[in-house]
């Protein structure tokens, strides 16, 4: 780990090599599942999913299009309220399209629950979800997730797209922060 990060990181939960191996597996699974689909639309949820989107899309040996959405929760930032505001909508019409939503982490599930309801109302042919990380112990609504990278415990994690106060997104691994960093 570069020195610039070593002093802030408490523990590496998922090393870069494990992320790469898991993405190889998931990409092969997605290629199989969508073998009959002409043009899969991969939708990244900004900002957290930008790293995963890039690494996943380049592993897929099949026709794909890429689009992004940005969402934010209203109100207090510490816990997700489930009330979601769309900051950036899709550029693409999705009626009749096959969508794969790509998320960094599913925590309470409230953000994605709102997003799925919103996207379903636009009449896509199918919607599936891929997430790099999931915290099952925190889930408040049941979300159908087709592709999961890793389960993590109920701890705050950073890296590989995930931030604390907009930092650490560029780490190539998933880790936890030393308590001093928060204070």
In this structure, the strands spanning 40-46 and 98-106 are parallel
With beta carbons less than 8 A apart as the criterion, state whether 130 and 146 touch. yes
Give the residue from 164, 119, 112, 131 showing the smallest Cα distance to 53: 131
d(C-alpha 13, C-alpha 145), whole Å:
21
Could you write out the DSSP letters of every residue in 36-80? Answer: T-SSEEEEEEETTTHHHHHHHHTT--S-EEEEEEEEEE-S-SSS-
Q: Which residues bind ligand IMP (CB under 6 A)?
A: 48, 80, 103-112, 156-158, 162
Dihedral (CA of 116, 117, 123, 125) sign: positive
Tokens encoding 110: 């409230």
How far is Cα of residue 88 from the mean position of the Cα atoms in its chain?
A: 16
Determine which helix (DSSP H) or strand (DSSP E) holds 12, and give its type and residue range: strand 9-14
> Would residue 89 show up in a list of annotated catalytic residues for this protein?
no
Catalytic residue among 8, 104, 107, 113: 107
Tokens encoding 48: 């957290």
For ligand IMP, give the closer residue by CB, 23 or 50: 50
Give catalytic residue positions. Answer: 107
């Amino acid at each position: 780990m570069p020195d610039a990060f070593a002093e802030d990181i408490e523990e590496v939960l998922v090393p870069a090599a494990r992320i790469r191996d898991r993405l190889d597996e998931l990409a092969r699974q997605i290629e199989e599942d969508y073998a009959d689909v002409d043009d899969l639309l991969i939708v990244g949820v900004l900002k957290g999913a930008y790293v995963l989107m890039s690494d996943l899309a380049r592993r897929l040996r099949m026709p794909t299009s890429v689009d992004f959405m940005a969402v934010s929760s209203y109100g207090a930032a510490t816990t997700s309220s489930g009330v979601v505001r769309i900051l950036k909508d899709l550029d693409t019409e999705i009626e009749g399209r096959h969508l794969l939503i790509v998320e960094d982490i599913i925590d309470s599930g409230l953000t994605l629950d709102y997003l799925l309801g919103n996207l379903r109302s636009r009449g896509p042919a199918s919607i599936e979800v891929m997430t790099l990380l999931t915290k099952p112990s925190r889930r408040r609504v049941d979300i159908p997730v087709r592709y999961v990278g890793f389960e993590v415990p109920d701890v705050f994690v950073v890296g590989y797209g995930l931030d604390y106060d907009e930092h650490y997104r560029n780490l190539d691994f998933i880790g936890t922060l030393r308590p001093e960093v928060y204070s």
